[in-house]
Structure 1
Amino acid sequence: MRIISGEFKGRRITAPKKLPVRPTTDMAKESLFNILNNRYYIDEISVLDLFAGTGNLSYEFASRGCEQITAVDQDYGCIKFINETAESFGMTINTIKSDVFKFLEHAQGSHTVIFADPPYELPKEEFAKIAQLIFENSLLKEEGILVIEHSKRTDLSDLQHYVKSKSYGGNSFSFFEIATEEEEEEEEEEETD
């Protein structure tokens, strides 16, 4: 895997083979950051990277100047690798070794971008639970966006707060946002018609 933009552009990162991960492809990562760059100044946002794995996305945010990054994974090897890699680059990445669902139940504070890359084979109810816990516990800032990576075969369009999906190869990103009051009023009007 490599960092595709920012201060560490072009740097390759080789994760130990034994880590239980499936890193986001460069093509998908580049497309995701094109969307985020059009919406935010990356150096001004806070990021929560769930199921962080190798830290692939966290390094990309850090390389682009983001200093408020929290990476959560339950695998000790993944957390150790992220800590070592971040230290070698001089990046500020706060790591938390935890089951993501337990973390979301008790987490505090809110983030501009929340990225979740759970195992593709999770049942759809578990994908729904990620979004539900994030919105119920107000972990997303008002102008924020939740991005869930999943297999193209998984359809999350019927979940609350869903906005759109983008597919790249066999991967898809589904985007979720807090509805504005105007959007909520429009929805209510449509339901009463």
Structure 2
Amino acid sequence: MRIISGKYKGRRISPPKNLPVRPTTDMSKESLFNILNNRFDFEGLKVMDLFAGTGNLSYEFGSRGAESITSVDGDFGCIKYIKQTATEFDFNISAIKSDVYKFLAGHKSSYDIIVADPPYNSAQKEFEAVVSLVFDNDLLQEDGMMIIEHSKHTTLEHMMNWSFSKKYGGSIFSFFEFDKDESEENINENTDVEEL
């Protein structure tokens, strides 16, 4: 696992092998950030990373200059590792051990980008709950974007503010935005999952 761009481009991350995680692959991560790079100037962004695991995505945002990153995971080992790595790289990451759903239900801040990578074997309703909690609690900025990583067995196109999806290998990223009409125009009104 490596940081693919920014200040720490090329630096490898070696988390403990006993963490209960399935990190986003470098290929998928690079494809995701290519999309985000066309939409955002990372400098100064406020980011939330849900089901953060090893902190893989959090470090990528940090390397690219995000102003603040909130990383949430329910596993103590994951949070401990994120804190250690944030200190090593001097990233402004607030690592919080919490049940993600309870955290979202009681949280008040809003973010430019929210990424969520629930376990692939989570129930459909659990993925849907992430979307509902984020938008019901106004956690995403009006010009922001939320991305949920999931497998082909989960479908989120019917959810509020769904914009488009991209498929990379066995992973799908579903994107959510407030300005849905403009988002669809930007991808040539393609509402199907694109496979790259």
With normalisation by structure 1, the TM-score equals 0.92
Query: Displacement of 1:152 after TM fit?
Result: 2.2
Query: Displacement of 1:179 after TM fit?
Result: 3.9
Larger helix share, 1 or 2: 1
**1: CA distance, partners of 2:181 / 2:3:** 38
Tell whether the 8 Å contact from 2:101 to 2:130 is kept in structure 1 after alignment.
Answer: yes
Residue of structure 1 in register with 2:166 after alignment: 166
Matches within 5 A, 1:28-47: 28-47=28-47
Tell whether the 8 Å contact from 1:67 to 1:93 is kept in structure 2 after alignment.
Answer: no
- For structure 1, the residue ranges without an aligned partner over 5 or more in a row are 184-193
**2: CA distance, partners of 1:180 / 1:5:** 29
Larger Rg: 1
1:44-79 deviation digits (Å, cap 9, x = unpaired) = 211000000000000000001112100000100000
Query: Displacement of 1:178 after TM fit?
Result: 1.7
Q: How many residues align?
A: 183
Q: Secondary structure at the match of 1:4?
A: coil
Residue of structure 1 in register with 2:54 after alignment: 54
Tell whether the 8 Å contact from 2:165 to 2:174 is kept in structure 1 after alignment.
Answer: yes
- 2:139 corresponds to 1:139: yes
Q: Which amino acid aligns with 1:23?
A: P
Q: 1:35 to 1:181 in 2, by over 3 A?
A: closer
Query: Displacement of 1:180 after TM fit?
Result: 6.9
- For structure 2, the residue ranges without an aligned partner over 5 or more in a row are 184-196
Q: Which amino acid aligns with 2:3?
A: I
Q: Secondary structure at the match of 2:30?
A: helix
- 2:9 corresponds to 1:12: no
Q: Which amino acid aligns with 2:109?
A: G
1:59-116 deviation digits (Å, cap 9, x = unpaired) = 0000011121000001000000000011111111011110000000000110000000
Residue of structure 2 in register with 1:188 after alignment: none
Tell whether the 8 Å contact from 1:165 to 1:172 is kept in structure 2 after alignment.
Answer: yes
Matches within 5 A, 1:96-135: 96-135=96-135
Q: Percent identity?
A: 58
Q: Secondary structure at the match of 2:85?
A: helix
Query: Displacement of 1:120 after TM fit?
Result: 0.4
Moved over 2 A (4+): 179-183
Residue of structure 1 in register with 2:92 after alignment: 92
